[in-house]
Amino acid sequence: DSATMMNKGLEVIEARWLFNLRPEQIEIVVHPQSIIHSMVQFQDGSIKAQMGLPDMKLPILYAMAYPSRLSAPFPRFDFLKYPSFTFEQPDAEAFPCWKLAFDALEKGGNAPCVLNAANEAAVALLLADKIRFSQIPDLIADAMSAISFQKSPDLDALISSDAEARKWVMEKV
């Protein structure tokens, strides 16, 4: 999902629900050094960042141990080895999957569920050498158009939407 930037799109959806944010309050910023894993700007303008080496072991450990901090044998970050950080706007044309995630978030209902299921099915097809990498966003977009939208789905409807989207992607190929 990193190559398609869908991981960033899914993180946007997670942030919306974890922090009760509106989609317009969430911004994706590309950080090529991969040191800053997340940032939050507060109403006073201050920013807190979760930083570490470009390895997801530490953020995962933190998430699993929260609110505790466990001792970890991971290498420590050295600011002198990373003297500067850069940030860029994401390229929607080069990475349409994150845009699809924003679209699903704004649409609401079962759209994020369909997005995730279609993405997982498309990635499985890629890994099985049944589609090209460039087909992933098209399959997701087509599934989002093809699967019936439900504004207020319950759990059973979400499970059904997930299964329907996966099946639709698999049968499309």
Count of residues making up the chain: 173
**53 pLDDT exceeds 70?**
yes
pLDDT higher than threshold 60 for residue 1: no
The whole-angstrom distance between residue 101's C-alpha and the CA centroid of its chain comes to 8
Query: Is the per-residue pLDDT at 57 higher than 90?
Result: no
Q: Of 31-35, 73-77, 116-120, which one has max mean pLDDT?
A: 116-120
What backbone torsions phi and psi does residue 39 show, to the nearest 5 degrees? -140, 150
Task: Give the pLDDT confidence of 64-75 residue by residue, as tens digits.
Answer: 999 999 999 989
Average pLDDT of the segment spanning 18-26: 88
